[in-house]
Amino acid sequence: MTVEEVALTVGNRPGSLQKVAKVLAEGRLNVAALSLTSQGQKSYLRLVVGDTQRALWLLRKAGYKVDANDLVVVHVEDKAGSFLKVLDILARHRVNVLSSSILVTRDGQRVLVGISVNNPARARQLLSASGFLSGGAEGLLLTNRDLVSGPVTDGSTESVGFFL
Are residue 60 and residue 7 in the same domain, yes or no?
yes
**Mean local confidence (pLDDT), 27-51:** 89
Q: Are residues 41 and 106 in the same domain?
A: no
Q: How many CB atoms lie within 10 A of CB 98?
A: 13
Q: Are residues 140 and 77 in the same domain?
A: yes
**More confident site: 59 or 139:** 59
Tell me which of 30 and 102 has the higher pLDDT.
30
The predicted model gives 46-70 an average pLDDT of: 93
- Dist. CA 46–CA 100, nearest whole Å: 9
pLDDT at 163: 39
pLDDT tens digit string along 145-162?
Answer: 555 553 333 343 333 343
Q: Are residues 76 and 52 in the same domain?
A: no
Would residue 152 count as lying in a domain? no
Reported as a single tens digit per residue, the pLDDT across 90-148 is: 999 999 998 887 776 554 566 677 777 888 888 888 888 888 875 554 444 455 555 55
Is residue 135 one of the residues assigned to a domain?
Answer: yes
Bridge partners for 117 per DSSP:
97
pLDDT at 152: 35
Region of residue 155 (phi > 0: left; psi between -120 and 50: alpha; otherwise: beta): left
Residues 148, 161 contacting (CB under 8 angstroms): yes
Amino acid of residue 28: R
Looking at the predicted structure, is the pLDDT value of residue 15 above 50? yes
- 7 lies in the same domain as 35: yes
Query: Which residue among 15, 35, 68 closes a domain?
Result: 68
- pLDDT recorded at residue 106: 53
pLDDT of residue 151: 37
Number of domains in the chain: 2
Domain hosting 98: range is 70-144
Residues 41 and 79 in one domain: no
The model's pTM: 0.69
> In this structure, are 64 and 74 located in the same domain?
no
Q: What is the pLDDT of residue 13?
A: 92
pLDDT averaged over the chain? 79
CATH number of the domain bearing residue 116: 3.30.2130.10
